[in-house]
Amino acid sequence: MIVICMSPQKTLSQNLKENNTEFPTPKGNPNQLFYLQRTKNTNTVIYELNKKNGLLDSKNPIHIFWILFTSNEEHQELSSIEKKYAYGITITAIGNEDYQFTLVAYPKITLHLKKDSDKNHHVYITLSGKLMMLQRTFIKEKEGGFSLSPTIEYIDFFGIDVASGKEMNERISM
């Protein structure tokens, strides 16, 4: 995989809106890799680079937690059930501080944590033959019913097309 250097300050141009709800953009975390939002509420799951003493934690390179926008932006760790069935990851080292991983809720898609040419880590995903530097995901849950494992209608991936440097998004319907 060829990785082109992208400015870590480059962000998507606007907040996401779904069903007249504006979802806030998490800010101020230099280690943030990408974030996940869903239709249930504006609380957001953050996937950040996990560093200890300034170095990547090779045993646990991605730290995952909530920002509770419905509770004064309080940070909260994922529960063990959330890690195992919903928002956790399965990750494998592939060498040189590069990793591949899947989201436990949707293991069909492989994501890559890699360094760019400036030695900054980003998450990359290939969708429709294009390499994207992932910045956010959005999950649309089907309405009605109660379940510990909600039924997903679609997942949207938003990021930067590595080849062109332009914003892109891709929807996967379930």
Adjacent-strand bridge partners of 111:
101
97: burial class by Cβ within 10 Å (0-12, 13-18, 19+)? Answer: middle
Comparing CA positions, the residue from 99, 135, 156 lying closest to residue 8 is: 135
> How far apart are alpha carbons 148 and 87 in whole angstroms?
13
Residue 136 lies in a domain: yes
Q: Residue 15, class by beta-carbon neighbours within 10 Å (0-12 exposed, 13-18 middle, 19+ buried)?
A: exposed
Count how many domains the chain has.
Answer: 1
In a domain, 15, yes or no: no
pLDDT confidence bin for 29, thresholds 50/70/90: very high
For the whole model, what pTM was predicted?
Answer: 0.86
Residue 9 falls within a domain, yes or no? no
DSSP assignment, residue 26? Answer: P
Over the stretch 85-99, which tens digit does the pLDDT of each residue have?
889 999 999 988 899
Residue 96, pLDDT score: 87
Q: 36, 40, 86, 91: which is closest to 66 by C-alpha?
A: 36
**Residue 1: pLDDT band by 50, 70, 90 thresholds?**
very low
Contact 124, 134 (CB under 8 A): yes
Q: What is the pLDDT of residue 106?
A: 86
User: Tens digit of pLDDT for each residue in 133-174?
Assistant: 999 999 988 776 555 556 788 999 999 999 999 999 999 998
In a domain, 8, yes or no: no
Q: Is 7 part of a structural domain of the chain?
A: no
Summary mean pLDDT of the chain: 86
Can you give the residue range of the structural domain that contains 84? Answer: 30-173
